[in-house]
Amino acid sequence: MFRSLHMKLTLILLLLITSLMAVVGAFLTVSVSSFYINAFYQQMSDVFGGENNNFVFDLRGAAADPEDPAGRVAEILEAKAGSLGVDYRTRNYFVLDGETGAYISSSADEAALPRQQSANLLSARNAVLRRDETSVGDESDITADFMDVAVPVMGGENAFIVYILDNKDTVSGLNSQLFLIIMQALVIGLLISVLLSFLLSKTMVGPIEKLTAGAERVAAGDFGSELLVESADEIGILTGTFNEMADILQSTLAAVENERNKLDTLFLHMTDGVVAFSREGEVIHSNPAAARMLRRPLGPEASYEALFGGVADAVTTATPLAIMKSGDMAGLTSTYSIRDMFLGNIPGSMGEISALMVLIGGVYLIARKVINWHTPVSYIATVAVLTFLFPKYGSGVEWMLYSIFGGGLMLGAFFMATDYATSPVTKKGQVIFGIGCGLFTVFIRYFGSYNEGVCYSIMVMNLCVALIDKYTKPTRFGVVKSDKKEG
């Protein structure tokens, strides 16, 4: 629903207008409430404090009247009703008992009092109990449904509370009017945002639609039509870049087609027969020379098995070690099992196919004491440990077995690394020599560009033979070095 640019712009503007009006409405509502609350308490402060101390003194004198103190206090409040803002509808005064807060008289019915005594009224009652005439309950609360002030008035043995209560109907009515105005403004803003989003989307989507149509024509092979650059903004730059790309693509395709025609001409008229097959053995391409040599047509129904099944002596393909280098372990395991690797049912050069045959030959040489076991065993063991602990692909055991049975590791370990002339003479040196060959083999196979590393690792270690013999030759006991003759 919201995939088109027009719908996205409309949604963004609607959310923006709604959020803005919500913030403005909340700000205005809180501001109006705060204004009325501040005005109420400022008015009460002006009447009961500051320069109007005479008014408070009059109330205290009325409270000391021995006949009707509550009535006298009510008469004084009635005389000051205008200054107190008492309108007998939303704001009223009450004369309450100082100790219990019970209703005595007022400008309204007793039912106008809150069901529960407010915090300001409780503060005034506590002041009466302490006989403190200076404490006044005048704390404001913007969340309350009313505004109130409770002033303790004490005269003689009598104590009263002058309670001024405003039910906030004026504030609520004004907030309701503000809410109605905000909702009307929101509706108008939403309508305007829809209209603006439509105009903006037309301005933006039009060039993009033209660019899309041009891309579809280029994809269909029509490079002749050029898009008109209508603006200098990002879309105009994109349109110009697209026109340049289409021109370059047309030139490139023309050059490729020209080269293809040359190759087709060469392919069709060459005297050597060429046949290309897919992985499934189906004929992909062939030239007339191949059909003449095979003396049969090479259509789509021809296959490799039908053409060369009984003719071919050998097939070239990637060795298991080359497949391991590419990282296609799934393809390797599905094509050649570990059993195939061990027995030799795999492609490869002479000496790296059947690990079993090479192993038999090596054991025979060790049994006849033609070679020692130290170099081959340490060589193969080093490769096995490293490939098991740090496999590049697959599991450690699987990678280790494929690394040992693949390539020329067995041949190099038994028949190359044990050469008399280029290998250490001591058993300890032969072990060091085999470990070094294993390290270099794994390093070259992992990090080199060459699939195999056996021959290079043996040649590198051959350079170290003299150094290995020097530090591993046994100590001769009972032999005294002769002193050098003085010249």
Q: Single out the residue of 176, 191, 34, 168 nearest to residue 112, CA to CA.
A: 168
Q: Is 8 helix (H, G, I), strand (E, B) or coil?
A: helix
Q: Are 405 and 342 in contact (CB under 8 A)?
A: yes
How many Å apart are CA 418 and CA 354, to the nearest integer? 20
Instruction: Report which DSSP code applies to 415.
Output: I
pLDDT one-digit tens code per residue, 253-262: 889 988 888 8
Sign of CA dihedral 286, 288, 294, 299: positive
- Domain 49-167 in this protein, CATH class: alpha beta
Residues paired with residue 152 on neighbouring β-strands, in sequence order: 161
What's the burial of 273, exposed, middle or buried (CB within 10 Å: 0-12/13-18/19+)?
middle
Residues 130, 74 contacting (CB under 8 angstroms): no
Average pLDDT rounded to a whole number, residues 4-10 = 75
Angle value at C-alpha 468, between 466 and 471, nearest 5 degrees? 110
Measured distance CA(195)–CA(235) in Å, rounded:
22
CA distances in angstroms from 38 to 44, 122, 147, 170, listed in the order given: 10, 21, 10, 14
Describe the chain by its helix, strand, coil percentages, rounded to 5.
Answer: 60, 10, 35
Q: CB-based burial of residue 168 (10 Å sphere; 0-12 exposed, 13-18 middle, 19+ buried)?
A: buried
Q: 241-255 pLDDT, tens per residue?
A: 888 888 888 888 889
With 60 as the cut, is the pLDDT of residue 486 above it? Answer: no
Q: Which tokens in the block code for residue 64? A: 């000391």
User: What pLDDT, in 10s, does the model give residues 420-439?
Assistant: 889 999 999 999 999 999 99
Query: Does 487 score more than 50 pLDDT?
Result: no
HSE-CB of 132 using CA atoms within 13 angstroms:
11
Structure tokens, 105 = 């008289």
Chain segment 91-118, per-residue pLDDT in tens: 999 999 888 888 988 888 888 888 888 8
Residue 165 has pLDDT above 80, yes or no: yes
User: What is the rounded average pLDDT of the residues 324-328?
Assistant: 82
As a whole number of angstroms, the distance between CA 128 and CA 99 comes to 7
Per-domain boundaries in the chain = 49-167, 275-308, 320-472
Count CA atoms closer than 13 A to 161's CA, side-chain side.
32
- Looking at this protein, which amino acid is placed at residue 417? A
Distance CA 56, CA 49 (A): 8
pLDDT the model gives residue 416 = 92
The span from the CA of 402 to the CA of 324, in Å, is 8
Question: What average pLDDT score do residues 17-40 get?
Answer: 87
CA 338 vs. chain centroid, Å, equals: 41
**Which among 308, 253, 322 is positioned nearest to 276, based on CA atoms?**
308
pLDDT range class, residue 460, cuts 50, 70, 90: very high
Residue 312: C-alpha distances to residues 6, 306, 308, 432 (Å): 65, 11, 6, 46
**Measuring CA to CA, which residue among 29, 15, 28, 30 is closest to residue 186?**
15
d(CA 266, CA 50): 113
The confidence band for 3, taking pLDDT boundaries of 50, 70 and 90, is low
The radius of gyration of the chain from alpha carbons, rounded to an integer in Å, stands at 52
Question: Residue 51 above 60 pLDDT?
Answer: no
Q: Is 139 exposed, middle or buried (0-12, 13-18, 19+ CB in 10 A)?
A: middle
Q: 346, 317 in Cβ contact below 8 A?
A: no
Angle between helices 454-462 and 427-447 (to 10 degrees): 140
Which DSSP state fits 214?
A: H
Structure tokens at 234: 């990002």
Q: Hey, what amino acid is at 49? A: G
Whether this model's pTM surpasses 0.75: no
In order, the DSSP letters of 285-347 are: EE-HHHHHHHTS---TT-BHHHHHTTT-S------HHHHHHHT-HHHHHHHS-HHHHHHT-S-
Report how far residue 403's alpha carbon sits from residue 454's, in angstroms, rounded to the nearest whole number.
Answer: 12
CA separation for the pair 190, 78 (Å, rounded): 51
Each residue of 348-400: pLDDT tens digit?
777 677 888 999 999 999 999 999 999 999 999 999 999 999 988 888 888 89
